[in-house]
Chain A
């Protein structure tokens, strides 16, 4: 069955450093992959989408890579700030009307 793995352990980093989050998937080949941010008690918010033919996508301090050979996406936040503290979810897609999410990685950025 399709499986998505994100680091279950929280990631703690110092303000100003680059945070790198990993999303691995198995048993399918998504046409694209989305990343969402979720704050406590709130619904996820869409951040970025990267397509299978794109190696890298950037948006302000965010960068996403998509390696279809490794079946992995990396999500980077450069010059991280305490306001970046949240849970980040990946969602490989292209499978029609169903959307499958990873369990998410909790990021803490210390001032």
Chain B
């Protein structure tokens, strides 16, 4: 089954403790992206990757890191989490550039992160 898999689904941590949220897709998609979703603010893009070893900042990259060493994986790293990073995080992938007409985004089921 074609899917985007995120782990973990739920994560509670303390301020300053480094964490990684994994994301993997099995569709051989070139494009991958991370979003955070907060009430009233919608989905905001954190980082995206056009291909292996190519990443770029979205609208809210501060406090996050990503890497794209393999096509299928795109982990999100919080080096020193803070309470304002408490949010629902989604990973997504698409065949190519999202502006392409045949390239809708496929989303994972989310990771709910709480930083105390």
Interchain CB contact under 8 A, B40 and A103: yes
Q: How many residues from B make CB contacts under 8 Å with A?
A: 27
Residue in A44, A95, A103 whose CB lies within 8 Å of B99: A95
Closest to A51 in B: B101
Partner of A89, one of B42, B45, B99: B42
Of all chain B residues, the one with the shortest Cβ separation from A47 is: B104
List of 10 A-B pairs having minimum Cβ-Cβ separation, nearest first: A43-B107, A103-B42, A46-B104, A101-B43, A99-B98, A94-B99, A101-B42, A44-B107, A43-B109, A43-B90
Give chain A's interface secondary structure class.
loop
With an 8 Å Cβ cutoff, the count of chain A residues facing the other chain is 27
21 sampled A-B residue pairs with Cβ under 8 A: A4-B42, A31-B99, A41-B109, A41-B110, A43-B92, A43-B107, A43-B110, A44-B105, A45-B107, A46-B106, A49-B101, A93-B99, A96-B99, A97-B50, A97-B99, A98-B45, A98-B48, A98-B59, A99-B105, A102-B42, A103-B41
B97: nearest chain-A partner, CB-CB: A97
